[in-house]
Structure 1
């Protein structure tokens, strides 16, 4: 399974944009596809789906495996989660929700 950071950005792939895929997707997958037409964070997807973060991570990870979305690496992917800059970015993202 993919380790999806709270602030990781998700974007729809060409496969995910294929209109023929709509009939094959669950309602959650279809909603994530629509949300990811622009780049959106894992945390924001969870908030907009009204699901716990862990559930959203599972949905997104499934979609990555199916090639429907791509998770872009974050600048702090290998950094310390106690880093003040990282914590400010997370706080800022949560406040925007």
Structure 2
């Protein structure tokens, strides 16, 4: 068993980006050859190779604390081994009234 601080090299925050719980992660490198990463990061790359997973799903699959997974993802993102799709902020989503008007307009057709 390896302590979480050993997995992250003692770091508690990712180097660059912050990762939302529902941000989707997908592997951006080909299957061969394997990039030089640690075992936990290798598992992340394998998990996200075929389908995008959220940060929360990755933490659950690895059975690691969320903070540790965020640090590992930050390292992978800096080396361009993963791509991250961040959720749209609620302020940028269309207003509920606009959506209702669109639905009503489609029904009228």
What TM-score do the two structures reach when normalised by structure 2?
0.63
Q: Which runs of 5+ in 2 are unaligned?
A: 1-15, 92-109
CA RMSD of the aligned region, Å?
1.4
Task: Provide runs of 4+ in structure 1 moved above 3 Å.
Answer: none
Tell me, yes or no, if the aligned pair for 1:17 and 1:33 is still in contact at 8 Å: no
The count of aligned residue pairs is 75
Match of 1:63 in 2: 76
Match of 1:7 in 2: 22
Shift of 1:18: 4.2
Match of 2:59 in 1: 46
What TM-score do the two structures reach when normalised by structure 1?
0.70
Q: Secondary structure at the match of 1:17?
A: coil
**Which structure dedicates a bigger proportion of its chain to helix?**
1
Return the index of the structure with the highest Cα Rg: 2
Match of 1:36 in 2: 48
Q: Secondary structure at the match of 1:36?
A: helix
